[in-house]
Amino acid sequence: MTTMKTFGLLFCTIAALTTAEADSLRLRRKQRSSPFSSSFFSSSSSSSFESSGEVCLNGGSSVPSIYTGEHMFCLCLDGFEGKKCEIATSAQCYEGMGLYYRGTVSQSESGRTCEEWDVETRERYMSTDVNSGRHNYCRNLLYKRRPWCYVQKNQQLVWEYCDIPHCGIESLPALPSPTPAEPKPELTCGQRTRRKLMKIVGGTVSTVEAHPWIAAVFWRSKTKEKVFRCGGSLISSCWVLTAAHCFPDGSNTKARRFSVFLGKNALNESELTTEQRFRVEEIYIHEGFDNSEGNFNNDIALMKLKARRGQCAMESNTVKTICLPPPLQSLHPGVSCEIAGYGKEKFGLWYNSQYLREAQVNLLADSVCRQEDYYGKMITDNMFCAGRSDWSQDACEGDSGGPLVCDVGGRFFQFGIISWGDGCAQEFRPGVYTRLTNYNRWIEEKTGLSDITAGLMFPQK
């Protein structure tokens, strides 16, 4: 991660490559002059999910005006109604975790009537819901296990799961709803233990407790030297997500030459009490990975950790999984997210900063990043951009493969993989990230994990 002038954040480099090779990973083209408009970055701090689809939801079709060609109304499929086809009129059950449930059940499992959703919740999470959330229907907000709602119990407002069957399953065992005095986390993913930062000249050093899902990928050279290659993220106890371009040998990549460290604070130091080291059993590089246009399309890869005595990563204060969001979901432009890695403090340096660092970047609208003054046609639907309005913070060489994570409802979800960019922290050259929500099905196919969007539990210790 790189910072200009102020405390910027700097990120890791691929030490196995020469300076020239590493430079090729951060594509450089002749910089064009264009005034930067701060309006490209929204000032909104909302982190609610926003559908990346069309105007009409749930398969509905937009009917345009014959005079202006602009959208007039939605023609909904059977079972849906509403201005945007957002109301599921025949929804008698929910699928998956019920993230898309739009039925009208408004009763909890205990038989209590649901309370109407409050204004803050409606504005933050339910803008596309029926009547913009002005109702008391059960919904699955904040990624709980299934649809729920708030009810009055003993003169207190508490939440309970709703009395809705799972589609295709006759019944589900009742799950206790935690009271305010006894909170119980629904998932282990996306939760950090603490946030401890130390300011140093040229950047911000973080600790692995603040990014417990971060992975450090090392490669063993022909001379048996262990060299840092890329960053990554732990998505389940045995699987690490990273970038495809971290493996220049492609299908000829030998998994046995790689190792992964979890819970690592510094590249050149080992802490046996916090670190977990694994050999790599398999590497899957996306079949559509293509750099013929110099833009690393489909830049995603998976590494399967080699279990020891049937066990991969164990959850601890320094090792946790990151949550993955549902398919085809995005956040509003301007939302602040985090990137982390072990890399260079400045573009062109030959050495890494060694210590784990982090940076804050804002999501850019696709229309901005595709302007000619930015990256133009190099940005595909499989990518998005993020940066700072003052261009002070960015990912840099070697940060490749690391996660871009965003806080959604108090839990961190990974929306991007650090992929490429033109230099580091340069004007009109934001970082480019793999759009992770395009690859949920691919990840499920390769890993065999049945419900990655729910976040995966660690095995019992």
Q: Write out pLDDT tens, residues 3-45.
A: 433 333 333 333 333 333 333 333 333 233 332 233 333 333 3
Most trustworthy range by pLDDT among 30-39, 129-138, 201-210, 234-243 = 234-243
Q: 92-101, 402-411, 437-446 — which is least confidently predicted?
A: 92-101
- Let me know: does 262 contact 290? Beta carbons within 8 Å: no
Instruction: Indicate whether 23 belongs to any domain.
Output: no
| Tokens 């700072």 belong to residue | 388
pLDDT at position 54 is 53
Assess whether pLDDT exceeds 60 at residue 175. no
Token pair 């945007």 is at which residue?
84
pLDDT at 422: 67
**Residue 192's pLDDT is what?**
81
- Check residue 117 and give its pLDDT: 95
The backbone torsions φ and ψ at residue 392, rounded to the nearest 5 degrees and listed phi first, read -90, -20
Is 262 a member of any domain?
yes
Q: pLDDT category, 213, cuts 50, 70, 90?
A: very high
Q: What is each CA distance from 22 to 200, 301, 424, in whole angstroms? A: 25, 19, 12
For residue 62, pLDDT beyond 70 = yes
Mean pLDDT of 216-240: 90
> Is residue 352 over pLDDT 80?
no
| Of the ranges 138-147, 253-262, 427-436, the best mean pLDDT one | 253-262
Which residues, 6 or more positions from 315, have their beta carbon under 8 angstroms from its beta carbon? 188, 237, 321, 458, 461
pLDDT band at 92 (very low <50, low <70, confident <90, very high): confident
CB 99 within 8 A of CB 140: yes
Asked whether the predicted pLDDT for residue 350 surpasses 50, the reply is: no
The answer to whether residues 298 and 290 touch, using CB atoms and an 8 Å cutoff, is yes
pLDDT at residue number 389: 63
Cβ atoms of 366 and 375 closer than 8 Å: no
**What pLDDT is stored for residue 305 in this prediction?**
97
What's phi and psi for 124, nearest 5 deg?
-85, -35
Residue 37 or 284, more confident: 284
Domain range for 422 is 204-454
The fraction of the chain above a pLDDT of 70, given in percent, is 68
Question: Can you tell me the distance from the alpha carbon of 140 to that of 146, in angstroms, rounded to the nearest whole number?
Answer: 6
Asked if residue 174 belongs to a domain, the reply is: no
| Amino acid (one-letter) located at 79 | G
**pLDDT at residue 216 is higher than 90:** yes
Residue-wise pLDDT for 438-453, tens only, equals 999 999 999 988 666 5
CA–CA gap between residue 384 and residue 415 (Å, rounded): 10
| pLDDT for residue 118 | 93
Q: What is the pTM of this model?
A: 0.59
Name the pairing type of β-strands 239-242 and 258-262: unpaired
Instruction: Using the Cα atoms of residue 202, residue 208, residue 210 and residue 216 in order, give the sign of their dihedral.
Output: positive
Number of domains in the chain: 1
| Positions marked catalytic | 245, 299, 400
Judge whether 193 lies within some domain.
no
Residue 362 counted as domain residue: yes
Beta strands 239-242 and 203-205 are: unpaired
Helix H, strand E, coil C: the string for the chain is CEECCCCCCCECCCCCCCHHHHHHHCCCCCCCCCCCCHHHCCCCCCCCEEECCCCCCCCCEEEECCCCCCEEEEECCCCEECCCCCEECCCCCECCCCCCCCCCCCEECCCCECCCCCHHHHHHHCCCCHHHHCCCCCECCCCCCCCEEEEEECCEEEEEEECCCECCCCCCCCCCCCCCCCCCCCCCCCCCCCCCCEEECCEEECCHHHCCCEEEEEEECCCCCEEEEEEEEEEECCEEEECHHHCCCHHHCCHHHEEEEECCCECCCCCCCCCEEEEEEEEEECCCCECCCCCCECCCEEEEECCECCECCCCCCCCCCCECCCCCEEECCCCEEEEEECCECCCCCCCCCCECEEEEEEECCHHHHCCCCCCHHHCCCCEEEEECCCCCEECCCCCCCCEEEEEECCEEEEEEEEEECCCCCECCECEEEEEHHHCHHHHHHHHCCCCHHHCCCCCCC
The average confidence (pLDDT) of the chain is: 74
- Residues 419 and 44: their CA atoms lie apart, in Å, by 26
In angstroms, the CA 263 to CA 355 distance is 12
343 pLDDT higher than 90: no
Residue 168, pLDDT score: 54
Q: For residue 17, how far is the Cα from the chain centroid?
A: 27
* CATH code of residue 243: 2.40.10.10
Q: How far apart are CA 187 and CA 185, in angstroms?
A: 6
Rounded to whole angstroms, the Cα distance separating 59 from 125 reads 21
Q: What is the pLDDT of residue 24?
A: 39
* pLDDT for the residue 67: 61
CB of 198 within 8 A of CB of 355? no
* pLDDT, average across residues 151-166: 91
pLDDT tier at 425, thresholds 50, 70, 90: very low
Q: Which residues pair with 418 in a beta bridge?
A: 433
Residue-level pLDDT at 41: 32
Residue 51 lies in a domain: no
Give the per-residue pLDDT at 177.
42
Between 262 and 455, the more confident residue is 262
**Tell me: the pLDDT tens digits for 239-261?**
999 999 999 888 899 999 999 99
Instruction: Tell me whether residue 143 is in a domain.
Output: no
Residue 353 has pLDDT above 80, yes or no: no
